Structure 1
Amino acid sequence: MNIYCNRLLGAVVVIAANAGGAWTPIGDVTTTMLWIHGQISTLQTIKGLIIPSLVSLTVPLALMSLTSEVNGKGQDSPNILASQQMAPRGQLVFCVGIGALVFVPVFKALTGLPPFMGMLFGLGVLWILTDAIHYGESERQKLKVPQALSRIDTQGALFFLGILLSVSCLESAGLLRELANYLDAHIPSVELIASAIGVVSAIIDNVPLVAATMGMYDLTSFPQDSEFWQLVAYCAGTGGSMLVIGSAAGVAYMGMEKIDFFWYFRKVSGFAFAGYAAGIAAYLAVNNLHISLPSTLAQVPFLSGS
């Protein structure tokens, strides 16, 4: 019973990770790509996508809690989550790391420089901090930034680089524009196009998929923060939850818990799809009813920057 509950808990973490990354420019690679290239801005993305993202998580949780399997197998399961106190220095590094991530949109809004400059600045601060707090402790060299950098998945980075270069070649050849014209002629609804992109992202990695979408449509076709780009950010981010192979979180979960593809498909995919569809419906409802977050958010300087 514990194993079953652990698997369901891991599946919920996958859904939550994908939903949580969709509503901020730095939460997911795809939203970051759209933000860097100017398709979405910080404040409008948060205002437009936080409610659909919450819905896409809440609906699967609610449906899972109503199933007899979860109720029957979870009642007698002991609490296996043990709390562990983080060391003070670890808390400091953690807080500085989170602050460095949050600082990226602030840095871009204040300086106008590319976001990667803000990330490198935050990395430099962490580098100095870890060197300072572990100075003279040879047994703690593994906790310093240089050691962490040595564990970067270079092969994975080169894989994505190759995919993005291939997408750029298709764009230069004009094939992506032809595909966009075909979709516009046969699927006139931008909502359906964005929704289809999300469904396909459950099979194909969302990074090249979003890169191809940006090559198919430019800012003259759909301006910044238009409904299309916001839906692409949401759909590409959360659509990967529908299959365990559809996102990096799902692949990591499959490797850590030795999850079978068909187990996830039978037990989780239906709930994830329901949340995905409910999130799209929530976005359209919010847009049509002009519901938004409190206007006081607009007074935050870095949120109003693109």
Structure 2
Amino acid sequence: MRALRLLVPFCLLMFPGLSIAVEPVADQALDLTTSWIGLACLVMFVVAYVLVVLEEWSGMRKSIPVLMAAGFIWTLIGVAYTLAGQPHAAGELVRHSLLEYGELLLFLLVAMTYVNTLQERGVFDALRGWLVSRGFSLRVVFWVTGGLAFLMSPLADNMTTALVLSSVALAVGGEQSRFVVVACINIVVAANAGGAFSPFGDITTLMVWQKGLLGAGEFMALLVPALVNWLVPAAIMSFAVPNGRPEAVGEVVQVKRGGYIIILMFVVTVAVTVTMHTAFHLPPALGMMGGLGLLKLYGWYLNWSALRRQGQPISFVSHDEMMSDHTEPHAPNTFREVARAEWDTLLFFYGIIVCVGGLGALGYLAAGSELIYEGLGAMTANVLVGVASAIIDNIPVMYAVLSMNPAMSDGHWLLVTLTAGVGGSLLSIGSAAGVAVMGQAHGRYTFFAHLRWSWAIALGYIASIAMHLWINKSLF
């Protein structure tokens, strides 16, 4: 019967005359899963997501189809509720999605601005230069880059981490494609695993944390399972690393003025954000925006002091001159770093959150929760979420789970956080880190090169789940 309920909309596609009219019911949520409106919205979402998946081939930015789908879906929902005699209900429903997106947007915007500023200051280039100039053996580079990816991704996003460290693998590996492939896979797996035990290490963990389902400290229970998720495939792939010690590359990069202080400011911003959320239950975005103000103040100081050294009278310097790129090469422009945020990604998140919120308003998420979580059980469902995230982006998958809000213990919420975070490593297209590295190591690290090692990554996936069930059994 549960499966039949989900099949009804597809039958209506073939026989529109069977559509069920919306009955006016005041101040109640409507079940539109078997109406033509619900069907049309579902089809629109599927079409939009297919276009997202085809982004690499079509050249259409992934934010475009989901933005259009979001507007289309909620327009039809508004029509349905108006016809049902509840003209204000759709507006109230969509505001919940907008609030969730607003908090996510502000948090990510600050994090991206800090990462962009650290890139501009040369911090990541300096790290890469130090690694390639050490003359490490290929085996040492394999383990060092993987370990750094695991440690960096809880603070820096996994895509930036993977890009920085894969550039090291490319520089050291040279023409040794066998090494480049396993090193890139190792970095992608480690970057995805490292973000799983931090509330701000991945978008999925951030959404769970902001939802209030788990405290910041509770994510640390996933440290050992996440480590196992990386170490198992890394140990297997290490046997494929060729012997050899390439010559050191003479690349020395100096960190620009203020770079190390900005690292400290980023750490302080995160610490204050966690404290404010834990102690006072304030939205994490509030603490991060305060940190953005601190970063801008420090950027202003660096520009101000640069102008002073040039002998220019500060009282006669305009705002545009103060923030221009030409004041001094060692002075950052924090406004430019805000503009350099991944706006296509941020707008994509908007489209996904609003679209999935619309599917929830239509009744599909409740039906899916009944079918998956009540039918299969939380354990099986949460394991399958990770597998699904290797094919479908983990953002809509996790947001759908959060919108379903199944009754689960902390252990199960940690489990779905783990699986959604690391499941994308099963395929190269399953995470932003994998897609980014494919572009950087074009022709060597490919979808099929990654697929040849998916069995080893799957063993790590299974082992991490088993480890979580064992060491955190008291949380279930």
Residue of structure 1 in register with 2:457 after alignment: 272
Letter in 2 for 1:38: G
SS at match of 1:138: coil
Residue of structure 1 in register with 2:390 after alignment: 202
Residue of structure 1 in register with 2:290 after alignment: 121
The 1:53/1:79 distance shift into structure 2, 3 A limit, reads farther
Q: 1: CA distance between counterparts of 2:344 and 2:257?
A: 34
Q: 1: CA distance between counterparts of 2:276 and 2:180?
A: 40
1:101 to 258, 266, 270: 270
Structure 2 segments unaligned to the other structure (5+ residues): 1-174, 308-325
**CA offsets per residue over residues 23-64 of structure 1, 9 Å max, x none?**
111111110100111121112221x21110111111111111
Residue of structure 2 in register with 1:30 after alignment: 204
Q: 2: CA distance between counterparts of 1:15 and 1:80?
A: 26
Q: RMSD of the alignment, in Å? A: 2.2
Q: How far did residue 245 of structure 1 move?
A: 0.8
Residue of structure 2 in register with 1:256 after alignment: 440
Letter in 1 for 2:298: L
Identity in percent: 32
User: Runs of 4+ in structure 1 displaced over 6 angstroms?
Assistant: none
The 1:130/1:40 distance shift into structure 2, 3 A limit, reads same
**CA offsets per residue over residues 167-192 of structure 1, 9 Å max, x none?**
0011111211111111234313x221
Does the 8 Å CA contact 1:198/1:237 hold for their aligned counterparts? yes
Letter in 1 for 2:464: G
SS at match of 1:238: helix
Letter in 1 for 2:196: A
SS at match of 1:140: coil
Residue of structure 2 in register with 1:151 after alignment: 340
TM-score by length of 1: 0.84
Does the 8 Å CA contact 1:141/1:147 hold for their aligned counterparts? no
Letter in 2 for 1:15: V
Residue of structure 1 in register with 2:44 after alignment: none
SS at match of 1:212: helix
What does 1:56-75 correspond to in 2, within 5 Å? 56-65=229-238, 67=239, 69-70=240-241, 73-75=242-244
Task: Tell me whether 1:171 sits opposite 2:345 in the alignment.
Answer: no
Which deviates further from its counterpart, 91-100 or 252-261? 91-100
Letter in 2 for 1:269: S
Residue of structure 2 in register with 1:302 after alignment: none
Residue of structure 2 in register with 1:294 after alignment: none
Q: How far did residue 201 of structure 1 move?
A: 0.3
Letter in 1 for 2:345: G
Q: Between Structure 1 and Structure 2, whose CA radius of gyration is higher? A: 2
**CA offsets per residue over residues 189-212 of structure 1, 9 Å max, x none?**
x22111100011011111111000
Residue of structure 2 in register with 1:20 after alignment: 194
SS at match of 1:152: coil
Letter in 1 for 2:387: V
Which deviates further from its counterpart, 24-33 or 209-218? 209-218
Letter in 2 for 1:20: G
The 1:38/1:112 distance shift into structure 2, 3 A limit, reads closer
Q: 2: CA distance between counterparts of 1:139 and 1:3?
A: 41
**CA offsets per residue over residues 60-115 of structure 1, 9 Å max, x none?**
111112x3x32xx2335445595645345211112212332233211212332110
SS at match of 1:134: helix
Letter in 2 for 1:31: T
**CA offsets per residue over residues 208-245 of structure 1, 9 Å max, x none?**
11000011224xx125xx22210011000011111111
Q: How far did residue 154 of structure 1 move?
A: 2.0
Does the 8 Å CA contact 2:356/2:399 hold for their aligned counterparts? yes
SS at match of 1:139: coil
SS at match of 1:245: helix
Does the 8 Å CA contact 1:100/1:119 hold for their aligned counterparts? yes
**CA offsets per residue over residues 265-293 of structure 1, 9 Å max, x none?**
11x322221111110010011123x59xx
Letter in 1 for 2:268: G
